[in-house]
Structure 1
Amino acid sequence: MDVEVAIPYIFLGLFGLCLGSFINVVIWRIPAMETRGSSHGFNLLVPGSHCTHCRHKLSLWHNIPVISWLMLRGRCAFCRQAIGWRYPAIELLFMALTLLCWRYATEPLCMAFWLFFCGSILALAVIDFQHMLLPDMLTLPLLWGGLLFHLLLPDDSPVNLEEAVLGAAGGYLFLWIIYWLYWSVRRREGLGYGDFKLLAALGAWLGWRAIPEVLLVASLMALALVVLAKLFSGKALGEAVPFGPWLALAGWGVWLMG
């Protein structure tokens, strides 16, 4: 590859790694912010980077995406607590997504919207998988971002603004109806309100025609997980499993194909 051709890929790859590092911050801090409620002094920026185990403040070189994790051999520099492989994996994944968005985006604003979509979807999937939580501070901006995308960049979307609005409303109402039907029969919750909002957000990005496809793929993946968990770990089929990660993955797949 020519050096001049490779330079944009290198810079975009580094940019994607940095965005992936920020997504790791979002994944860890937003559930903590939800738990702490309205307490002050803790948000996405404050306090500074620190070990979640020993609370020691981290230096700049401890925060270099992927490289720091490799240099520290996956452990904190101070307390030697293990640092999960999820951190470099998300950074590398988002680097690939950044290059993908740059490859197909028609203009910088389009790429910015796509990066916002991919980053939000990724953060929501991991948070729900870990905490059974889909925070409003992620699902609602994702929903409004989808509608704004269709409003500002109609030529870059296979659906129009009207289909996006119907997708947002239809996605929410469909799972809302399923929720209350299940409640009327079983007298317990089968879905969370965060699932309604996530499907509404996906409908805002993908349009109402994509909702059945997203739901079908997500349901099949969730069912496969439950069956595999029962076969290999003995986990009861009635235990709750997060649906958000599969909605997010299905929605991302439909977006990618579109």
Structure 2
Amino acid sequence: MADSPMLSDFLNAYPAYFYLLVGALGLIVGSFLNVVILRLPEMMQREWRSDCRALLELEQDDTKDDAGKLSLSFPGSHCPGCHHAIKPWENIPVISFLFLRGRCSHCAAAISWRYPLIELATAVASITVAFHIGVELALLAYLLLTWSLIALAVIDIDTQLLPDDITLPLLWAGLLFNVFLGPTAPVDAILGAAGGYLLLWSIYWLFKLATGKEGMGYGDFKLLAALGAWLGWQNLPIIILLSSAVGAVLGVLIIVVQGKDRSHPLPFGPYLAAAGWISLLWGGTLSALLLAGTP
């Protein structure tokens, strides 16, 4: 993880400091992911509306739909209710939420519990990856993969979208990582990317031809392609098996508990993201167990 041998030796000698550092980084990144999860879909919607107006030669609505007026950095963090600008001390991951007792300091509106939960989940996931990878330069790459999967999963839950702004850079990052540093052979990464896309693309069209309905979106194809680029084609069966099994079980529970109709679309991206992350850490063990149970 570290460029300096002295720092690397120190972190190896004192693992508690290593995990504390990774956990703190995870909390900070989790706070940023909350911004990405909230704003990126809105930025996409505004850009689409702007493109549609341009295509139809309609006047642009600069007061509302100008995509340039919203970014990940502008405007600054604020309360969605009263638009109170959040001060730095009010934006400390988890701690500020507890200090403010989950309410805006200006209007006392409730702050969603999801913000600290995503921060904590990002920290825990980061520490888990660090525990498995250790003090290695590759850890930075695997943390980037983990953070991207968290953002994609939550965005898909919220909007049933998997933004190209995340999936496509993630795919190329996986290929480049395995060319220069990763444990997966470059040819296996390329085959994983191509195979991941074509696998779900084939399932999509077979399902559509059989039922006349769309079972998943193209974002799912790109996400599995990205996972294949990072983990190689060898992990694709485990990812598909895990995501399908978990998706089927949770899908039934959602239908039963929430009373949703079976025709109600459910996002598949979170299951792919979770299965990909599990495969990153335990894919070899799961593959061995699967092969051991095969007659």
Q: Say yes or no: TM over 0.5.
A: yes
State, as a whole percentage, how many aligned pairs show the same letter: 50
List alignment gaps of at least 5 residues for structure 2. 1-12, 51-66, 284-295
| 2:263 equivalent in structure 1 | 238
Q: Deviations over 1:196-216 (max 9, x none)?
A: 000101111111121121111
- One-letter identity of the residue aligned with 1:28: L
Which runs of 5 or more residues in structure 1 are unaligned?
A: none
2: CA distance, partners of 1:108 / 1:43: 33
Q: Which deviates the most, 245-254 or 51-60?
A: 51-60
Cα distance, 1:163–1:44 mapped onto 2, change above 3 Å = same
RMSD: 1.8
Q: Match for residue 236 of structure 2?
A: 211
Q: Distance in 2 between matches of 1:257 and 1:188?
A: 34
Report the equivalent of 1:14. Answer: 24
Structure 1 residue 72 and structure 2 residue 82: aligned?
no
1:193 is displaced (CA, Å) by 0.6
Alignment of 1:120 onto 2:148: yes
Q: Distance in 2 between matches of 1:69 and 1:78?
A: 14
**Equivalent pair of 2:19/2:130 in contact (CA under 8 Å):** no
Report the Cα distance in structure 1 between the residues aligned to 2:72 and 2:110, rounded to whole angstroms: 22
Distance 1:226 1:13 in 2: 32
- Where does residue 225 of structure 2 map in the other structure? 200
Higher gyration radius (CA): 2
Which residue in 2 is equivalent to 1:50?
78
1:150 partner letter = N
Q: Which of residues 133, 158, 163 in structure 2 aligns to 1:130?
A: 158
- What is the CA–CA distance in structure 1 between the aligned matches of 2:88 and 2:255, rounded to whole Å? 44
Distance 2:148 2:223 in 1: 10
- Equivalent position of 2:188 in the other structure: 163
Task: Report the Cα offset of residue 106 of structure 1.
Answer: 5.6
Which amino acid is the alignment partner of residue 165 of structure 2?
M
CA distance in 1, matches of 2:262, 2:82: 38
Distance 2:216 2:167 in 1: 16
Decide whether aligned partners of structure 1 residues 97 and 225 sit closer, same or farther in structure 2, where only a CA change above 3 A counts. Answer: closer
Gap change, CA 1:189 and 1:150, over 3 Å in 2? same
The size of the alignment, in residue pairs, is: 252
Is this contact kept in 1: 2:132–2:281, CA < 8 A?
Answer: no
TM-score (norm 2): 0.80
CA distances 1:109-129 after superposition (whole Å, capped 9, x unpaired): 312111110000000001101
Q: Does 1:111 align with 2:139?
A: yes
Q: Which amino acid aligns with 1:26?
A: V
Counterpart residue type for residue 192 of structure 2: G
**CA 1:12–1:227 in 2, change beyond 3 Å: closer, same or farther?**
closer
Residues 197-240 of structure 1 show CA distances to partners (whole Å, capped at 9, x for unaligned) of: 00101111111121121111111111112211232232222211
